[in-house]
A and B are shown apart, each in its own frame.
Chain A
């Protein structure tokens, strides 16, 4: 087994595959992740551009949002992401039960995000705003819903991973699927980390 001194992960977790040149996880999933990031980036740039062209609409629109709900969701997703990463490392050291626990809590926090976000979007529609109200509300609702659906997909992926960990499908040498799923979940997290300050906070 290769042990490169500069790779601290390898030192902490014997068995973590340092021989691989490619990113860990299935390359198909990485291609998909990049495609997703591309789509979200285009929306983020469009948001910034539209905001530049129409500042009043965006300032007044932002006031209709609740940044505390957004903060709650940020904490939920970040924690969930950290737990998913911990699960991958646990699996790499052969600690399957630890990996499983981490995954279940990650799922719990993901579902928590869905409840908070679902409430927030439902409340927004109920307050009378819709996709065609103006460009701020469209972008907020569409990006928010689009991201929401990705969180749904991500939670589904985590559930599948948890079931497979329980079944013993993964181990230190068989971690491709686990790493791929976790990478997807991290992507969902990163998108939120840009979406939240861009839409909720920046003035």
Chain B
């Protein structure tokens, strides 16, 4: 008996189609992982930078800022803050270090994280590392 639209055909398309695209996605993932060493600046991924990423995570910087465009939209993009601050590590370090604990009246305020000197240097180095990842020419300008 010929029916217009069978349930089993729809089900086969669901299973087959999903499996098909999962396999392609896995293949592209495999290819991507093989290719990203040319793009991800891993030569600069030192122990200090790894520690810097931990400092970044432990203080939830992503909760206000974006990094490579991902995160929160309360505060500026930090993937290119190194370039924006004239490639000055000291300038970035000083900004974080000297945030007033009570904030700035009426303005969006960044907490004083009470980071040690070592943590500050590490997180700055993490931001330098991030700024040199090949992001296909993003962001469009220095403002992030």
Question: Which residues of A pack against B, CB within 8 Å?
Answer: 17, 20, 22, 26-29, 32, 130-132, 146, 149, 153, 173-177, 180
Contact = CB atoms under 8 A, between A and B. Distances in A.
B20 A153 contact: yes
B35 interface: yes
Interface stretch (B5-13, B68-76, B82-90, B112-120): B5-13
B67 to A, nearest CB: 23
Contacts of B3: 26, 176
13 contacts: A17-B2, A26-B5, A26-B9, A28-B5, A28-B6, A32-B13, A130-B35, A131-B31, A132-B35, A173-B1, A174-B2, A176-B2, A180-B9
B103 interface: no
A61 B79 CA distance: 35
Contacts of A27: 4-5
Contacts, number: 39
Instruction: Classify chain B: how many residues form its interface, as a range.
Output: 10 to 19
Contacts of B2: 17, 20, 173-176
B24 interface: yes
Contacts of B10: 28
Given A149-B24, A174-B1, 16 more contacts: A17-B2, A26-B3, A26-B4, A26-B5, A26-B6, A26-B9, A27-B4, A28-B13, A32-B17, A130-B35, A149-B20, A173-B1, A174-B2, A176-B3, A176-B6, A180-B9
A153 B35 CA distance: 28
CB-based closest 9 A-B pairs: A27-B5, A28-B9, A26-B9, A28-B10, A176-B2, A32-B13, A27-B4, A28-B5, A26-B6
A113 B7 CA distance: 32
Contacts of A132: 35
Interface of B: 1-6, 9-10, 13, 16-17, 20, 23-24, 31, 35
A131 B3 CA distance: 43
A26 B13 CA distance: 11
Nearest to A179: B2
A151 to B, nearest CB: 12
Contacts of A177: 9
B36 to A, nearest CB: 10
A191 B16 CA distance: 19
Nearest to B28: A131
A130 B16 CA distance: 28
Contact of B4 (A17, A22, A131, A174): A22
B9 to A, nearest CB: 4
Contacts of A28: 5-6, 9-10, 13
A137 to B, nearest CB: 13
B26 to A, nearest CB: 12
